[in-house]
Structure 1
Amino acid sequence: MAAQDIPNGFTGFANRKPGFEPASASVGRTPVGAYTTEGTPLSGVPSTYGSGAQGAFQYARDHARPDAGAANFDPDKLRLIPATDRRWAWTEVDLGVVRHNMTALKQHVGHGVRVMAVVKADGYGHGAVRCAKTALNSGAEYLGVATIDEAIELREALVNAPILVLSQPPMEAIPLLLAYKVMPSIYTPDFAIQYAEAADAYSIRAPYHLAVNTGMNRIGVRHDEVVEFMSQVSFHRALDLVGTFTHFATADAPETLDFHIQTKRFLEALQAMKVAGFDPGIIHAANSAATIRYPDVHFDMVRPGIALYGLHPCQETRTMIDLRPALSVHARISDTRLVPMSEGVSYGLNYRSPGSVRICTLPLGYADGMRRGLSGRTDVIMEGRRFRQVGNICMDQCMFEVDLRTYGTRRRIDPQIGDEVLIVGRQGDSIVTLDDMANMLGTIHYELSIGFAQRMPRLYV
């Protein structure tokens, strides 16, 4: 790669069409298997789809009527079949809500403090590209990711804001950092020098952020060794220290002692750098919890992640800022049946019908983020009412129960195939939240939010 090969922008990497959403790969793409019955690919179908489904059309040919000609499928018509008609389970992300949350965070930190929108893990399951663009249009100035591939996805979607990889990537990935203009976090001298040498070979700068370990002990230069580290690497003319940061381990905890110890160590490290003549650049430390709870650590920039998507990082923040969940999970009933009294439902037959109930099947399961540990412990919402999920949640399907008996003035519901059901979200006075599910499972809503993005189509509203 010659120096002139390093792009001065990112249009050269825009191989995807605008609006392409990797997490929703089924949306708008020609399905694998777009072949004629003669086994040849249909015109206009990308060769990257391979021949894995060619056998499906071989099957169609083998079972064709003797008096029929070859079946031809129009790929353009196939593409028009909506994602929600290919599978009756999907997630919805309200970008207006993401915009609201970003605006609320900007107002909370006030003027003079930049916001890095953290969009790692595909925007916590909400879609990195669309959420990044929405956040930038709503006041964010920086983006944070966990991996180089996450950064490249943003660049190929023509996102030109500064991007920081919140860890130090492998040395072998240094050319990608330089080519896509992505900043790494650095905390080892060897990586710093290799990064600088590679940049110098192309006569370009090597910008980075210094990660400081103040007590979380995950990554970073130890807080009392920062000056020594800088003395080892700062001689290189290509290195450009753009920012210095740390990460809090307990900003979301009721106990504050450890948080204040980390803050003290970070301030001491920054002061030591300045005394030694090193400019720390953009100083940042606050994750979502610290952004909302502790204005003293806003510094030059804050790094909200989960709060951007409307999920509170801890109980203490709920009264401090108006955040609204952007994600909801939907499905349509794929089967209904009356199950006689005492007969079981799903693997293990752990649930037994009490009689006078209709069992409804939904086409999503633990492979879609509907965790198996929720079996019999969560509800779904239909027509504004909650209904109990029953039976073990399967890999691809789960069931819920509708009581057909009439109680007083309660309206009877007769569910039908195709009726829409809400798995996560609010409808009328009924609500099921990721927090509810996380509490049942003994985990955090981060994990569930990311899990629901595993393979369901994602729609933006």
Structure 2
Amino acid sequence: MDRVTSPATRWSWVEVNLAALRRNTSAFRRRLGRGVQMMCVIKADAYGHGAVPCAKTMHAAGASQFAVATVSEGVALREAGIEWPVLVLSEPPVDCVGTLVEHDLMPAVYTADFALALGEAAAARGRVARYHLAVDTGMTRIGVRRQDAVELRRTIDFHRGLECAGTFTHFATADTLDDWDFALQLNRFREVVAALRGAGLDTGLVHCDNTPGTVLHPECHFDMCRVGVGLYGLHPADATRPMIDLEPVMSVRGRVVRVIYPNVGDGVGYGLTYRVPKKNIQVATVPIGYADGLARELSNSMDVLVGGARCRQVGNICMDQFMFAVDVNSARAYRPSRPVEYGDVVTVIGEDGDERIGADEMASLRNTINYEVVCDFGMRLEKIYT
């Protein structure tokens, strides 16, 4: 573990295992029938993993389209040379229609004013803007109301600058088996698609399954599935775990930048919330803090891995650093086989020997979801691709 590559400027980093990402992508691709496309969701810098390297790896493993949350995320992909279709998963401000056209980004559309402005911007440049119609089937977040979908399409379809490339909805409870609300949303979506086609309107690619939907509800794969968090080796729900094998893609590591034997009774960190209880306790510092995604609420309650063993984090987590303690004389397994030294590798998320700390473990301690954990770590830490 000590031979791992680390950044030269700061001893803290995120490792992204592109081989695991490729295998996860292939596992989802194999679940889709012939002709069903896979749209990979790479919003929030690919959930903290790095959008551009991830997109290239996913495309090589069978992805045909990509989805982002913001126009800026889409522009960054284009500027990095990503030319595959990119969907912006919500309807952005009307002021950015020119940017959408310029960079060939497909927005979600659910209001006539935005759609017509998009069409005008495209026609002025001699182009046709592709979009996906977003339908609210019950999540009450974004989308045209299902009873208004046909009217909206009839209002905007005359415009020569517009082309409907897809029709989609998003499920609120796709991660729950035999759920009444899921069945209701699916039925409503099918009715909207049928009504659009019955009115002679082209729906483009029909898609509704997210990560749990792709695994648990193959009956509604339709023309395309939008796969997100599962690509990164994270399960969206316990129900998917026996259905598909996934490998975690992200590890978070740092190196010890200071290690001492404090006096008995010495306090550690802001507020001195931990005090050294006896002799021969080491306290080591690692340059990862809450500005790097290590939530302050984890203070004095989380473990890290050092030398293949768990060690307890102590003191309040700082903005840029945290501390952990090692009882050198302990006979228990809850310590490394030797005293900690300057430069030792410390794993916050990932594997070290036979031990592993996953995003799910940290999410449980934070009373949140694994999605948030990995997104947080992607904010500032340098990424190393393996």
Band of TM-score, shorter chain: over 0.9
Hey, what does 1:364 align to over in structure 2? 288
Kindly indicate whether residue 385 of structure 2 is the aligned counterpart of residue 460 of structure 1.
yes
8 A Cα contact 1:404 1:413, kept in partner: yes
* Aligned mates of 1:93, 1:325 — CA distance in 2: 9
Which residue in 2 is equivalent to 1:395? 319
Identity of aligned residues (%): 46
Residue among 180, 196, 200 paired with 1:277 = 200
Amino acid at match of 1:428: G
3-state DSSP class of the match of 2:253? strand
Spell out the pairing of 1:276-315 with structure 2 (5 A cutoff). Answer: 276-315=199-238
Aligned to 2:11: 88
Deviation of the 1:203 alpha carbon: 2.0
- Secondary structure of 1:454's counterpart equals coil
CA distance in 2, matches of 1:93, 1:354: 38
Partner residue in 1 for 2:265? 342
1:295, 1:102 → 2: CA distance?
17
Matching residue within 123, 127, 132 for 2:46: 123
Does the residue aligned with 1:177 lie in a helix, a strand or coil? helix
The residue identity in structure 2 corresponding to 1:456 is L
Relative contact order, higher structure (CA 8 A, sep 6+)? 2
- Letter in structure 1 aligned against 2:296: R
Q: 1:379 to 1:199 in 2, by over 3 A?
A: same
CA gap of 1:259–1:105, structure 2 versus 1, over 3 A, is: same
What's 2:362 paired with?
437
User: What is the aligned partner in structure 1 of residue 304 from structure 2?
Assistant: 380
Distance in 1, matches of 2:72 and 2:294, equals 26
Distance 2:6 2:338 in 1: 28
More strand by share: 2
Of 339, 342, 350, the residue aligned with 1:414 is: 339
- 1: CA distance between counterparts of 2:301 and 2:332? 26
Displacement, 1:170? 1.1
1:171 matched to 2:97: no
Q: Out of 163, 167, 178, which is 1:240 matched to?
A: 163
Distance 1:365 1:313 in 2: 26
1:449 is matched with 374
Distance 1:419 1:265, change over 3 A: same
For 1:210 and 1:332, the matched residues in 2 are separated by 48
Asked if structure 1 preserves the Cα contact closer than 8 Å seen for 2:307 and 2:337, the reply is no
CA distance in 2 between counterparts of 1:110 and 1:96 reads 24
**1:364-418, CA deviations, whole angstroms, 9 ceiling, x for partnerless residues?**
1101001001111111111111111111101111011111114289874211111
The alignment status of 1:423 with 2:316, answered yes or no, reads no
**1:171-207 superposed Cα distances (whole Å, 9 cap, x missing partner):** 1111111111111110000011111112112221121
Q: 1:264 aligns with which of 170, 176, 187?
A: 187
**Contact persistence 1:405–1:412 (CA under 8 A):** no
Q: Does 1:223 align with 2:137?
A: no
Equivalent residue number for residue 156 of structure 1: 79
> Separation in 1 of the partners of 2:378 and 2:47?
9
Query: Which residue pairs with 1:199 in the alignment?
Result: 122
SS for the counterpart of 2:21 is helix
Q: Alignment partner of 1:367: what SS?
A: helix
User: Equivalents in 1 of 2:77, 2:20: separation in Å?
Assistant: 21
Partners of 1:405 and 1:383 lie apart in 2 by: 16
Deviation digits for residues 210-247 of structure 1 (CA, Å, limit 9, x no counterpart)? 00000011110111211111111111122111110000
Distance in 2 separating the partners of 1:338 and 1:173: 57
What secondary structure does 1:360 align onto? Answer: strand
Give the number of equivalent residue pairs: 380
Rounded to whole Å, the distance in 2 between the matches of 1:326 and 1:166 is 24
Give the C-alpha shift of residue 113 in structure 1. 1.1
Structure 2 residue runs of 5 or longer lacking an equivalent are none
Is this contact kept in 1: 2:177–2:216, CA < 8 A?
A: no
| 1:259-294 CA distance string (max 9 Å, x none) | 111000000000111111112110001111111111
Cα distance change of structure 1 residues 341 and 83 upon mapping to structure 2, 3 Å threshold? closer
Query: How far apart, CA to CA, are the structure 2 residues paired with 1:430 and 1:83?
Result: 21
Structure 1 residue 84: deviation in Å? Answer: 1.2
Please give the secondary structure, in 2, of the residue aligned with 1:459.
strand
Measured in 1, the distance between the counterparts of 2:193 and 2:15 equals: 43
Q: Distance in 2 between matches of 1:411 and 1:178?
A: 56
State the Cα distance separating 1:111 from its structure 2 match.
2.3
Amino acid at match of 2:281: V
Where does 1:97-136 land on structure 2 (aligned, <5 Å)? 97-136=20-59
Q: Which amino acid aligns with 1:230?
A: R
Provide the TM-score with structure 1 as the length reference: 0.80
3-state SS of 2:46 partner: helix
Conserved? CA contact 1:92–1:329, under 8 Å: yes
Which residue identity is paired with 2:259?
A: T
Counterpart of 2:380 in structure 1: which amino acid?
Answer: R
Instruction: State the superposition RMSD in angstroms.
Output: 1.4
Q: Which residue type is aligned with residue 358 of structure 1?
A: Q
Question: Which stretch of structure 1 is more off in the superposition, 249-258 or 170-179?
Answer: 249-258
Does structure 1 retain, via aligned residues, the 8 Å contact 2:32–2:221? yes
Q: Which amino acid in 1 is paired with 2:382?
A: P
